[in-house]
Structure 1
Amino acid sequence: MRTSVVICVYTKERWDDIREAVESVRAQRRQPHELILVVDYNPDLQLELKKAYPDAIVVENTHEKGLSGGKNTGAETATGDIVAYLDDDAVADPGWLEALEEGFQTPEVVGVGGRTVPRWATGGRPRWFPGEFDWTVGCTYTGMPTVRAPVRNVMGGNAAFRREVIGEVGGFHTGIGRSVQGRKNRPLGCEETEFCIRLSQSRPGSVMLFEPRALIEHKVSAQRARFAYFRARCFAEGLSKALVAASVGSGDGLSSERAYTVKTLPLGVLRGLGDALRGDLAGLGRASAIVVGLAWTTWGYVLGTLRLKLRRSR
């Protein structure tokens, strides 16, 4: 099995992060077939990367500006059997690639995602920050499986797919998820969610697998550890979920979210209140953050759905 590792980059401000990500790929116990760096409309950064990493394949994004376009460019450039994506501000464990590849032992598995843990720039998790909302900083969250298990979708910054299936379903849609330009720099997401659902719908019987041994650390800046970002990210997620539901249907598009809302979040609130009663007053903050996070995500979804309906009625 040959795996092409793709890292999408866009700014020299993340040079040190990019360097750490690349070095973590080089340090893998099972070396990749190739390393591809996709640069998002930044010729100066592309030139610098070519000089710094002559052993890597450095290409410019040939699709629409943004993460989805970069991922599609990476998949089209790759020659491996598997395409693995790693965030440009993440550090992979030495066994990351090996664990991802081992998930593809049966033909029905078309995608494998790993466990992503936060590396807080603030030195540790903010005491008010609930684990149920670690997805707001691109990490595995409370409520996800703790052992290898099938899932509806994997998280895009730590995922691998069979190369041929990416092209079969038209790649990642550029109308969903983050774009460096436009959308008021709002922290949208869900391009990998929509892609995974669309892939499963087009290939009945296919499996997305969560493999917790495929471990990476995702850097969380001080700005993203603030409550203002938390709230904005929740609202943006709601907007993104509306786009996903419109693309693949609300049945599949919201199936995991329903279980998360009716089971995981209430348990998280009770856990936070219980912690407060046992003397950890920050538990009140975590319980409150869960309530606020759900409210803002729901409001984003409602507003996003209304906007789409108005757009279609014109």
Structure 2
Amino acid sequence: MLSVIVPTHNRRALLEKKLRLLEVQRGEFEVVVVADGCTDGTLEFLSQYRPPFPFRFLELAPGLGAAGARNRGAQAATGDILLFSDDDVMPQPGWIEAHQKAHAQPRVVAVGRLELPPELRGTGAAELRGPRAFWWNVTGNNTSLPKALFEEVGGYDPAFSGYGGEDPDLGYRLMRAGARLVFLGDAVAVHEAFDYRGRALEKARQAGAAHVRVWRKHGDPRIAWALGVHPVLLAIKLALLPSFKGLLGARGDYELAYAWGASDAWNQSSAS
């Protein structure tokens, strides 16, 4: 059986939409919702929700963050396979079945196809259309793996309690553990709630800083190159993007904020 792990924080409407879409999925699965400090009526909705699939929800004190919430959901899951998918990621038809079929072989980490609504393309949010998946593509949006493998590598690192870092850190450890990463073109999900008008640039700065922390944690230069936070790459970005970011549209602002966040993290670590 497959366990869908859904962390959520004060996004009741999106969560309800996701759960309604899961109601029409085929396959054997359960859903574990982890409500992290919700104050918007989410808990009241979950306590009354009666879906056609096995379902449970956990209530956590606020501030645990995505990594900690996903770990709690994984601990409560009863399925052999964990499928991590955030509350703003909407599964399309055949999503569950595609992830289940991917695990006919052992030690598979399956990364599904991630798309954006048309109005969000080019805003800085990432899409993943394949045809291959790499360790840095492992995210809490659309990734499944055996529960035993997740536990073997220690799950998510709760030290990444802010925005960013927890996904590539897990992906890197899975790669080092010999996991087989596969891309699932049939496991399509749509990422609906990327906030490019609000906190997107601040989140980009936080992600840049967090990815520097991933490199410093493991000390492998491949991490810095893959995540775009190597000092050589940062020097090039910070020299060119202020003048040419307009050529990239909204993506240019996102990339510059990401580079500034990573550069600040390097400067702070050097000073200490």
TM-score, normalising length from structure 2?
Answer: 0.82
Q: Tell me what 2:34 maps to.
A: 38
- Counterpart AA for 1:152: W
Distance 1:152 1:7, change over 3 A: same
Name stretches of at least 5 consecutive residues in structure 2 with no aligned partner: none
- Counterpart AA for 1:112: A
From 294, 300, 304, the equivalent of 2:261 is 300
Superposition pairs for residues 42-61 of structure 1, below 5 Å? 42=38, 45-53=42-50, 55-61=54-60
Distance 1:62 1:247, change over 3 A: farther
- Counterpart AA for 2:196: A
Question: For the residues of structure 2 that align with 1:146 and 1:295, how far apart are their CA atoms?
Answer: 25
1:157 Cα offset (Å)? 1.2
1:21 Cα offset (Å)? 0.7
Q: Tell me what 1:189 maps to.
A: 164
Q: For 1:60, what is the secondary structure of its paired residue? A: strand
Q: What count of residue pairs does the alignment treat as equivalent? A: 260
Q: Is the 8 Å Cα contact of residues 38 and 74 (structure 1) preserved in structure 2?
A: yes
Q: Is the 8 Å Cα contact of residues 36 and 63 (structure 2) preserved in structure 1?
A: no
Q: Tell me what 2:114 maps to.
A: 116
From 168, 174, 178, the equivalent of 2:152 is 168
Q: Tell me what 2:202 maps to.
A: 232
Q: Tell me what 2:13 maps to.
A: 16
Question: For the residues of structure 1 that align with 2:171 and 2:34, how far apart are their CA atoms?
Answer: 21
- Counterpart AA for 1:86: S
Question: For the residues of structure 2 that align with 1:177 and 1:211, how far apart are their CA atoms?
Answer: 29
- Counterpart AA for 2:114: T
1:177 Cα offset (Å)? 5.2
Identity rate, percent: 22
Q: For 2:12, what is the secondary structure of its paired residue? A: helix
Write out per-residue CA displacement over residues 140-174 of structure 1, whole angstroms, 9 at most, x where no aligned residue: 3xxxx632x24123222111121012222221112
Q: Tell me what 2:190 maps to.
A: 217
1:300 Cα offset (Å)? 1.2
Q: For 1:84, what is the secondary structure of its paired residue? A: strand
Q: Is the 8 Å Cα contact of residues 85 and 159 (structure 1) preserved in structure 2?
A: yes
82-91 vs 50-59, which moves further = 50-59
Write out per-residue CA displacement over residues 246-268 of structure 1, whole angstroms, 9 at most, x where no aligned residue: 12224242242359x98xxx9xx
Write out per-residue CA displacement over residues 97-119 of structure 1, whole angstroms, 9 at most, x where no aligned residue: 1112222232242x111112123
- Counterpart AA for 1:134: A
Distance 1:26 1:193, change over 3 A: same
Distance 1:220 1:238, change over 3 A: same
Distance 1:49 1:108, change over 3 A: closer
Q: Is the 8 Å Cα contact of residues 135 and 171 (structure 2) preserved in structure 1?
A: yes
Q: Is the 8 Å Cα contact of residues 63 and 72 (structure 1) preserved in structure 2?
A: no
Distance 1:119 1:53, change over 3 A: farther
Superposition pairs for residues 234-253 of structure 1, below 5 Å? 234-253=204-223
Q: For 1:244, what is the secondary structure of its paired residue? A: helix
Name stretches of at least 5 consecutive residues in structure 1 with no aligned partner: 179-187, 274-283
Question: For the residues of structure 2 that align with 1:125 and 1:192, how far apart are their CA atoms?
Answer: 22
TM-score, normalising length from structure 1?
Answer: 0.72
1:72 Cα offset (Å)? 0.2
- Counterpart AA for 1:207: R
From 173, 179, 183, the equivalent of 1:206 is 179
Q: For 1:103, what is the secondary structure of its paired residue? A: helix
Q: Is the 8 Å Cα contact of residues 4 and 79 (structure 1) preserved in structure 2?
A: yes
